[in-house]
Amino acid sequence: MKAHTSKGEKFSLTKNSMVSRPPLKPALEQIGTVRCPVCGHEVAVHITKTRRPFVNCGFCSARIFYNGRESMRLLLGQMEPVTGNDVLKLEKGEER
* Number of domains present in the structure of the chain: 1
Q: What is the pLDDT of residues 14-25, one digit of tens each?
A: 555 567 788 887
Residue 54 predicted with pLDDT over 90 = yes
Q: What is the pTM of this model?
A: 0.62
Residue 96 lies in a domain: no
As a whole-number percent, the residues of the chain with pLDDT over 90 amount to 48
pLDDT at 70 over 80: yes
Q: Write out the residue range of the structural domain in which residue 44 sits.
A: 26-91
41 assigned to some structural domain: yes
HEC sequence for the chain: CEEECCCCCEEECCCCCCCCCCCCCCCCEEEEEEECCCCCCEEEEEECCCCCEEEECCCCCCEEECCCHHHHHHHHHHCEECCCCCHHHHHCCCCC
